[in-house]
Structure 1
Amino acid sequence: MQSTRDYIRGHVRELAGVLRTLEAEGERIDRWGRELVDVVDGGGRLLVAGNGGSAAEAQHLTAELVGRFIGERRPLSAIALHAETSAVTAIANDYGTEEVFARQVEAHGRPGDVLLLLSTSGRSPNLLRAAERARACGVRVWALTSAAASPLGELADDVLGFPGPSTSAVQEGHLMAVHALCIAVEAHLPASSARRRTVDLTAVGTGVEREVPA
């Protein structure tokens, strides 16, 4: 049986390739951030989905965008489809598990929106169905997956893939990409758009609002 120390040494070697890919893909991630700012500033939204650990990382991204990552700014519209537990279970019960994301994409997606799908294999049927439905709805599809060729990579409009060989190494690449994407979004958010308006709690009922600097 492999020892913990041997596993860590081997995993560190795997992550060296992941880090090289992250650095090499900096321009793509920066472009995604710029395009995502254009989407949300135009009234659109980001939809994200994944299964298992990828679901957790996708929801991590929406939390950072709706909340904040580093800089103070207005909240950005981002929805984690797998987090809609009542919708997910109802759709799975009525239409089958392959429809759990696709039906939500059809409900929430508008032309020009972006759907980001996270999958280490790029072969999950529910994510493939979501990508197909998004394309039919005029929603752009981005994929965070592995470096290997996959059906999801073929369906997506743009792909960022990380080398493995382990699933955990790919997932850790996705997490670093999520953080880098948050940096890119905040870097490209216009100063005027970064300012948010909030109700002045000292004047509740008066309709008075104040600007909060970014």
Structure 2
Amino acid sequence: MIDESDNPGWSAAREGIRAAFEESIAVKQAVLDGGALDALIGMAERIVEALTAGGKVMLCGNGGSAADAQHLAAELLVRLRPEVSRDGMAAIALAMDSSTMTACSNDFTYEALYERMVATLGRPGDVLLGISTSGRSVNVNRALRMAREHGIHTFAFLGGDGGESLALADIAFVVPSAVTSRVQEAHITAGHALVGLVEDRLLAGGHIG
């Protein structure tokens, strides 16, 4: 245990940490008050339809949002809750490996990465979830456009005003904040809720065991 009296910066550090938690709580409360939860229910319904028809969920983002895409894909493929043992659900994070990413960036552009993968791997009836805290990620938006051209459902986790992604998503979950870290914290909470809802509905329908 650190003795607070021996560390003059302790109180300031504590207040900084407290402020971060309070800001995160306030943003999540704003999500609850703003009626954004219906978007997650709508996404869950479409994902259940896609998975029961033999389709898959594709996810993409950049930086922390790429990590969130991988995080949620893993929870679909493996499981969300350790007490729930069930079959995997078909999902793929499009930031798959360094060879694919660097080849596309070198031979084409980084902006074309997700678009190319959607065009190659996607099938009508699949789902694409694009994650962008600003809604202005060029590669995510190009992927959303490509998905629409291929009959793939387009969903987005966004922040702020939703940016360009808002108009490209069939359903969007928008966090009312322009602070990247606060948006990401709400995104992963929303993602966990979404995966949990999909898992519950597939289990209840006997589609996974």
Output the TM-score relative to the length of structure 1. 0.84
Structure 1 unmatched runs, 5+: 196-214
Q: Secondary structure at the match of 1:135?
A: helix
Structure 2 unmatched runs, 5+: 1-8
- Out of 33, 36, 52, the position equivalent to 2:44 is 33
Identity of aligned residues (%): 38
CA contact (8 A) 1:74 1:194 kept: yes
1:15 aligns with 2:29: no
**Other-structure match for 1:193:** 207
- 37-46 vs 21-30, which deviates more? 21-30
- What CA deviation, in whole Å up to 9, does each residue of 1:118-139 have, x standing for no partner? 1111111111111111111111
- Out of 59, 77, 84, the position equivalent to 1:66 is 77
**Other-structure match for 2:90:** 77
- Out of 99, 119, 129, the position equivalent to 1:116 is 129
Q: CA deviation at 1:34?
A: 2.4
Q: Secondary structure at the match of 1:47?
A: strand
Q: CA deviation at 1:191?
A: 4.2
In the TM superposition, 1:148-159 aligns within 5 A as 148-159=161-172
Task: Give the Cα separation in 1 of the matches to 2:162 and 2:104.
Answer: 29
- 102-111 vs 28-37, which deviates more? 28-37
CA contact (8 A) 1:101 1:126 kept: yes
Going from structure 1 to structure 2, the CA distance change for 1:66 and 1:193 (only over 3 Å counts) comes to: same
- 19-28 vs 134-143, which deviates more? 19-28
CA contact (8 A) 1:146 1:162 kept: yes
Task: Give the Cα separation in 1 of the matches to 2:194 and 2:31.
Answer: 11
**Other-structure match for 1:211:** none
- What CA deviation, in whole Å up to 9, does each residue of 1:8-49 have, x standing for no partner? 233233223332244343332123222211101101110000
1:175 aligns with 2:184: no
**Other-structure match for 1:139:** 152
Going from structure 1 to structure 2, the CA distance change for 1:170 and 1:48 (only over 3 Å counts) comes to: same
Output the TM-score relative to the length of structure 2. 0.86
**Other-structure match for 2:5:** none
**How many aligned residue pairs are there?**
195
**Other-structure match for 1:105:** 118
Task: Give the Cα separation in 1 of the matches to 2:14 and 2:179.
Answer: 17
Q: CA deviation at 1:183?
A: 1.1
- 23-32 vs 186-195, which deviates more? 23-32
**Other-structure match for 1:206:** none
